[in-house]
Amino acid sequence: MRRAIFPGSFDPLTLGHCDIIERGVTLFDEIIIAIGVNSDKKYMFSLEERTQFMKEAFKNEPKIKVLTYQGLTVDFCKEVNADFILRGLRNSGDFEFEKAIAHTNRKLSNIETVFLLTTSGKSYISSSIVRDVIRNGGDYTGLVPPSVVVK
């Protein structure tokens, strides 16, 4: 079974994340959306909210699981028997950052990282931009899936 994890904080889930997940499902038998917990980070949305956003967004996709984890991503991969890490790239800056992480993960274990380029129409979307729009009262509904829209 080709199992991949798609790790991140997803604070919040964006249409860019959804793009990578929806396209990744065609490549793997299962994708585990791995919501990382970092006690040093200040999140806009609670872990419970972020988990619910994911579960609701992908409730009709049986090949997707949503789990949370702490610690090293490669350790979580071992725990869930995943051989791949799926990552999205929006631009060259993402590539350089993600390349260093991928090389480190490969050094620590035999995990392969698979990169997908975000669709050009979504490549400008980031969670930090969405948080800024939300903080400033802007219309963020075109940047996130319906499960994230707070009523």
Which active-site residues does the annotation give? 17, 41, 90, 127
Residues 6+ apart with CB under 8 A from 59: none
Torsion of CA 40, 46, 47, 48, to 10 degrees: 160
Number of H helices, E strands in the chain: 5, 5
Residues 76 and 136: their CA atoms lie apart, in Å, by: 36
C-alpha separations of 128 from 10, 67, 68, 89, 147 in Å: 10, 22, 20, 15, 18
